[in-house]
């Protein structure tokens, strides 16, 4: 018996030794790195649609540089502002654990970087793999200041799918044949909707269907028998977009830097801010095939850019000069208002494995999202109230139209206890219950302006119901939460009904996202644990809507001790 106990004891120690050894091997193979970059923001001549514009770019590139790192690495990016506008950079989808000072939204986590000044963003990426992106978060600079952020597995780890032969970032964008800052300023002055874009782009190029654009059309290489991982990013300012490739199926394997159970589709729909990783196989006859993208438009009677951008999927084995090859095959795209296709696509998303979704809820929030109309102020002339019936467009969450501070950031005010910058009385539910997706009384069309945040205790388990409204018009709203990923446990149409709709919740393998496309005339339910202290912007990623106030801030308090508290602000944090 003693002999057996001795064996068991030794086996225990040996198992412990093996576990420690495995951990040391894992740590040594992880080998995290620190990547240093310099971003120079400045005006650069960019020619599109036959005209050259002085366009705000990063390092003279449009789109800006692609950043490539591994899970566990640290990024240090010094941003030098040589443009004539204030600027900030947001690292869209990065968790920013305790590093909220590097998140980037203007007047939320920092004051803007003024012309001729600089700021260094520093943060570590932990537990995220896939495709994210970075973009300006100040005024409408995001129209041209953006780029891909690719996070590969730790060294020694692999993708949960067969390694592709090649990878291609695909950034979908919008192009105005004028200065986009002027477009935004004119809309702000008149109170009406801004002019729609003149073109969509793929990697900065409009493609063959626009004037003066064929020569620059983006080429995506593939060869027979190859697999290409397309990292698709909707970088457009204001438009959800369909995406497809002629005669090729797309296997979706990830979204917003989280892996998914693979599923096959012919078309993607991405709201602004969302990313989708897809595998495409070179299993067609060698030729040229159009990659195409155009609007998904859910808002009735609202103007939108109805053009189509294209790139070309080119089989290497064609070995032809493009001009000598027949025109690429054009894919079929869904109708602009094809909500059925969007619904079928979004309901296909499942996490790659069973996940731990909060089941007990501490904070049950109900947020109505939508547009509104402000009456023309008495001191405004008619030309400043060119919205419907002499009004000015606005937007809100729970009838509060968010107003940014202008002389200090919310995070600074919170961290240093500076009063009078914001209040913490943002309502947990609409102040008035009504038929959200029906005919809404005109008395509810004008929200109340305010800089109101909602306070969350560290570690609280949060559920938010995001409910679209039909005020002015219902619309598919891409709602983005900074500092967090969240599980989308359910989506539906009509008014959310807790008793009836809770039975539809997926608490087993819901997708993990940072931006949810709230269905037009419908709702979405998200859940997360508030484990990251700071001031985190929750907003619609249609930039026109955030300008109108469709936003709020979730203020997550510090927990216990250093590792549950936000880091001190960096010494070079910009001053207002």
CATH of domain 14-159: 2.60.40.420
In the predicted structure, residue 14 carries a pLDDT above the cut 50: no
CATH of domain 363-564: 2.60.40.420
In the predicted structure, residue 104 carries a pLDDT above the cut 50: yes
- Residue 323 is predicted with a pLDDT of 52
Q: Binning pLDDT at 50, 70 and 90, where does residue 320 land?
A: low
Give the DSSP H/E element, type plus range, for residue 313.
Answer: strand 308-315
Q: Which of 308, 437, 446 is nearest to 375 (CA)?
A: 446
The number of C-alpha atoms within 13 Å of 506 and in the hemisphere containing its C-beta is 19
Domain limits, the chain: 14-159, 161-351, 363-564
SS3 labels along 515-561: EEEECCCEEEEEEEECCCCEEEEEEECCHHHHHHCCEEEEEECCCCC
CATH superfamily entry for domain 161-351: Cupredoxins -  blue copper proteins (2.60.40.420)
Helix, strand or coil, per DSSP, at residue 293: strand
Integer Cα distance of 200 and 178 in angstroms: 14
SS3 labels along 536-548: EEEEECCHHHHHH
- Residue 326 is predicted with a pLDDT of 76
Instruction: Name the token pair of 380.
Output: 């405004």
| Residues 351-403 pLDDT 10s | 999 999 999 999 999 999 999 999 999 999 999 999 999 999 999 999 999 99
Peptide bond connecting 76 to the previous residue in cis, omega within 30 degrees of 0: no
| Residues 26-35 pLDDT 10s | 444 468 999 9
Integer Cα distance of 289 and 535 in angstroms: 45
| Residues 151-207 pLDDT 10s | 999 999 999 999 999 999 999 999 999 999 999 999 999 999 999 999 999 999 999
């Amino acid at each position: 018996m003693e002999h057996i106990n001795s064996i068991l004891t030794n086996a225990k120690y040996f198992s412990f030794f093996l576990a420690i050894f495995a951990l040391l091997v894992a740590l040594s193979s992880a080998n995290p790195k620190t990547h240093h970059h310099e971003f120079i923001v400045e005006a650069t001549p960019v020619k599109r649609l036959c005209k050259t514009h002085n366009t705000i770019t990063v390092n003279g590139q449009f789109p800006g540089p692609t950043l490539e790192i591994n899970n566990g690495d640290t990024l240090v990016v010094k941003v030098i502002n040589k443009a004539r506008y204030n600027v900030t950079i947001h690292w869209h989808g990065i968790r920013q654990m305790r590093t909220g000072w590097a998140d980037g939204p203007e007047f939320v986590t920092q004051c803007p970087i003024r012309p001729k000044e600089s700021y260094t963003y520093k943060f570590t990426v932990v537990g995220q793999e896939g495709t994210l992106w970075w973009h300006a978060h100040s005024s409408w600079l995001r129209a041209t200041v953006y780029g891909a952020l690719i996070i590969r597995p730790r060294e020694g780890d692999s993708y949960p799918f067969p390694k592709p032969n090649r990878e291609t970032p695909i950034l979908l964008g919008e192009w105005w044949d004028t200065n986009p800052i002027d477009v935004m300023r004119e809309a702000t002055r008149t109170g009406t909707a801004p002019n729609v874009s003149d073109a969509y782009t793929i990697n900065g190029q409009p493609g063959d269907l626009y004037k003066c654009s064929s020569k620059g059309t983006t080429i995506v290489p593939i060869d027979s028998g190859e697999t290409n991982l397309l990292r698709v990013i909707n970088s457009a300012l204001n438009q959800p977009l369909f995406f497809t490739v002629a005669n090729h199926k797309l296997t979706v394997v990830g979204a917003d830097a989280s892996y998914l159970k693979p599923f096959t589709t012919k078309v993607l729909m991405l709201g602004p801010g969302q990313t989708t990783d897809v595998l495409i196989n070179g299993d067609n006859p060698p030729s040229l095939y159009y990659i195409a993208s155009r609007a998904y438009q859910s808002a009735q009677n609202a103007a939108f850019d109805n053009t189509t951008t294209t790139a070309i999927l080119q089989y290497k084995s064609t070995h032809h000069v493009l001009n000598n090859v027949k025109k690429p095959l054009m894919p079929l795209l869904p109708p602009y208002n094809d909500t059925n296709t969007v619904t079928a696509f979004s309901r296909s998303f499942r996490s790659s494995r069973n996940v731990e979704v909060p089941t007990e809820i501490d904070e049950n929030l109900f947020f109505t999202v939508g547009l509104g109309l402000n009456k023309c102020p008495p001191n405004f002339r008619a030309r400043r109230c060119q919205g419907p019936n002499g009004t000015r467009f606005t937007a809100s969450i729970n009838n509060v139209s968010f107003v940014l501070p202008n002389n200090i950031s919310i995070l600074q005010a919170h961290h240093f206890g500076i009063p009078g910058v914001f209040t913490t009385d943002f309502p947990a539910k609409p102040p008035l219950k009504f038929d959200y997706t029906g005919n809404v009384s005109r008395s509810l069309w004008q929200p109340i302006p305010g800089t109101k945040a909602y306070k969350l205790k560290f570690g609280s388990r949060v559920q938010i119901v995001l409910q679209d409204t039909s005020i002015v018009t219902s619309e598919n709203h891409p709602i983005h939460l900074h500092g967090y990923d969240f599980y989308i446990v359910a989506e539906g149409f009509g008014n959310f009904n807790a008793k009836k709709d809770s039975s539809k919740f997926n608490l087993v393998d819901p997708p993990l996202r940072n931006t949810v496309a709230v269905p037009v005339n419908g709702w979405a339910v998200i859940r997360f644990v508030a484990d990251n202290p700071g001031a985190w912007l929750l907003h619609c990623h249609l930039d026109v809507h955030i300008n109108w106030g469709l936003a709020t801030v979730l203020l997550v308090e510090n927990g216990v001790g250093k590792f549950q508290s936000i880091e001190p602000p960096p010494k070079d944090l910009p001053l207002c």
